[in-house]
Amino acid sequence: MAESGGPSLPSARPAHTPLLRAERFVWLTARVLEQRLFAHRFLNGGADPVERALDAYRNEDGGYGHALEPDLRGPVSQPLHTARALHVLDAVGRCGGQRVERVCRYLTSVSTADGALPAVCPSQRGYPMAPFVPVVDDPPSELLATGPVVGLLHRNEVWHAWLFRATDFCWQAVASLEASHPYEIEAAVAFLDAAPDRARAEAAADRLGRLVRERRLAALDPDHLDTYPVAPGYAPGEHHFPHDFARTPDSLARAWFTDEEMARSLDFLAAEQEEDGGWPVRWRQWAPAPALEARAGVTIEALRTLRAYGRYVG
């Protein structure tokens, strides 16, 4: 018998659905955190087990480490780990209270002179990490690290002194963004989707959407990917699609794409499920363990996106 708050039994669901195939992949390969997050999102599992699993990655300084973000190994807290922790807490409706107060104190302690976040602090030096993530002594502020964190905190109506300057940084970074880096565009969308000034957010998103289309940063025809550029430094075939920018129908980025373009994108996403039930990691892989650990998260996000758009997954 499943314990209270645990997932429902697999026998209660139809066999061979995308969800059941993904579930097998998760039980076979994923860390405990992603197993419990999958169970919460798709199998009626409780939030408490997810929080308990996440606690294993939390450090005394209020940040998170221990390879929570698989491409950064080692125990030390880093902004990218902490951003992922907030994403998990948001997913289970626990992004608030004293836990997030401690996180905000950590964010304050590692912020740059302009009040925003670097992607990686120098404390990472000496631990294994992806070669495409540089470690420098005086790291700059990064929209990639700051935008999703600020967006999550605003969406959950968290108010902390750290947010004021970090929000100002995001507005300035978004205004100066020239759309050469698709992941930065995604970080900008994560901020804009929850920014309190909705009129300003809509105007900024409209500008970014035009740049994405002008510079062909979204692959609108998955059958002809060779006609779309891949950003310098990315892995071969590391394209970005409409569903990567607009992960839910209520995202501001959804207006960037026609219904037909979004349908093709979602068809492509659904078809990417592999024989083992998981979705592939599209970015550059540098070691077996980080790639395997990342796949469970990618799989959960793929299912979440498909379900958000009303695609039947199981």
DSSP string covering the chain: -PPTTPPPPGGGS-TT-HHHHHHHHHHHH--HHHHHHHHHHHS---SHHHHHHHHTTB-TTS-B-TTSSTTB-SSS--HHHHHHHHHHHHHTT---HHHHHHHHHHHHHH--TTS---SS-GGGTTS-B-TTS---SSPPP-HHHHHHHHHHHHHTT---HHHHHHHHHHHHHHHH--S--HHHHHHHHHHHTT-S-HHHHHHHHHHHHHHHHHTT-S-S-GGGGGGS---TTSPTT----HHHH-SSTTSGGGGGS-HHHHHHHHHHHHHT--TTSPPPP-SPP-SHHHHHHHHHHHHHHHHHHHHHTT----
Q: What is the pLDDT of residues 258-278, one digit of tens each?
A: 999 999 999 999 999 999 999
Calculate the average pLDDT of the chain: 94
User: Is it the case that residue 256 has pLDDT exceeding 90?
Assistant: yes
| Percent of the chain whose pLDDT exceeds 90 | 91
Token representation of residue 261: 């373009």
Residue 64 φ then ψ, to 5°? -130, 150
What's the pLDDT score for residue 232?
Answer: 86
pLDDT band at 15 (very low <50, low <70, confident <90, very high): low
What's the pLDDT score for residue 178?
Answer: 87
pTM for the structure as a whole:
0.93
Provide mean pLDDT across the span 34-40.
Answer: 98
User: Is it the case that residue 84 has pLDDT exceeding 60?
Assistant: yes
pLDDT band at 3 (very low <50, low <70, confident <90, very high): very low
In whole angstroms, give the CA distance from residue 78 to residue 183.
18
Provide mean pLDDT across the span 191-196.
Answer: 98
Q: State CA 27 to chain mean position distance.
A: 21
pLDDT band at 282 (very low <50, low <70, confident <90, very high): very high
What's the pLDDT score for residue 16?
Answer: 82
In whole angstroms, give the CA distance from residue 251 to residue 210.
16
User: Is it the case that residue 60 has pLDDT exceeding 90?
Assistant: yes
Tokens 């925003």 locate to 116
| Percent of the chain whose pLDDT exceeds 70 | 95
In whole angstroms, give the CA distance from residue 282 to residue 295.
10
Provide mean pLDDT across the span 129-151.
Answer: 96
In whole angstroms, give the CA distance from residue 151 to residue 203.
17
What's the pLDDT score for residue 5?
Answer: 53
Residue bearing the bigger pLDDT, 1 or 99: 99
Q: What is the pLDDT of residues 178-191, one digit of tens each?
A: 867 899 999 999 99
